[in-house]
Structure 1
């Protein structure tokens, strides 16, 4: 007797890597959010801290070493229209570069078309849906609580 797999929410950790008034964004190549600009990040692994996941994912995707990680907010994102519907609890972190002279490298070209710095007041379009929703709400990753001015 076959049992149908019940979809379960997954946990993603994404990172606002900030430098002056800019954030690091990459152009997605995945089935969810293809050709949209998104933050570096990925799935939380069993037993991993949010900070550990943030550092690992940023290193795996961009080759950058980060520090001073702060939890900003958590969102609940359900992708009903995706080729394979999914549900993510997304943990948003903020971090800075260990060495501000580091340059991002595209470590996973099959998942991303490249990384670049974008001024928070002049973001590219289209943004990945969860990020766009936050930007439209007035969210600001540069303030302590994510709610102030640059």
Structure 2
């Protein structure tokens, strides 16, 4: 067990239980939808919409958070994220999916203003800062959510 893992496991019983996050790269041309988080974890960082069961969860979470209806989703990757700094350590397994709008005339809404400051479309090559740590890690690794 790595030092980071043992820190999480012994610091807080709740943190020892991995949580699953499902997030969606919602693409519109060469842009991706991001929102500024209002949360104890990653507050004020830009992140993807999402929450917890793959395809159905992704569609439900995007609708709940942005008011947008999405089409079929495709699994892109899964990451393991240990948040050892902050108010309490957390462990998230994040499932990254890709989708697109069912109707490109839809406009994102801030349906959960207590959780997000608002949604906007950002060019993948010119993302806002700071990014939420798991997203920043993927961007810095060269990950590209767009189809080849």
Q: Taking structure 1 as the reference length, what is the TM-score of the superposition?
A: 0.88
Cα RMSD over matched residues? 1.1
Q: Give the structure with the larger helix fraction.
A: 2
Matched with 1:130 is 134
For residues 82 and 55 of structure 1, the distance between their equivalents in structure 2, rounded to whole angstroms, comes to: 30
Structure 2 unmatched ranges of 5 or more: 1-11
The secondary structure found in structure 1 opposite 2:71 is: strand
Matched with 1:78 is 82
Structure 1 unmatched ranges of 5 or more: none
Q: How does 1:1-150 map to 2 (within 5 A)?
A: 5-6=13-14, 7-42=16-51, 44=52, 48=53, 50-143=54-147
- The alpha-carbon deviation at position 56 of structure 1 amounts to 0.6
Structure 1: 4+ residue segments shifted above 2 A:
4-7
The secondary structure found in structure 2 opposite 1:13 is: strand
Q: Taking structure 2 as the reference length, what is the TM-score of the superposition?
A: 0.89
For residues 34 and 120 of structure 1, the distance between their equivalents in structure 2, rounded to whole angstroms, comes to: 21
The secondary structure found in structure 2 opposite 1:110 is: coil
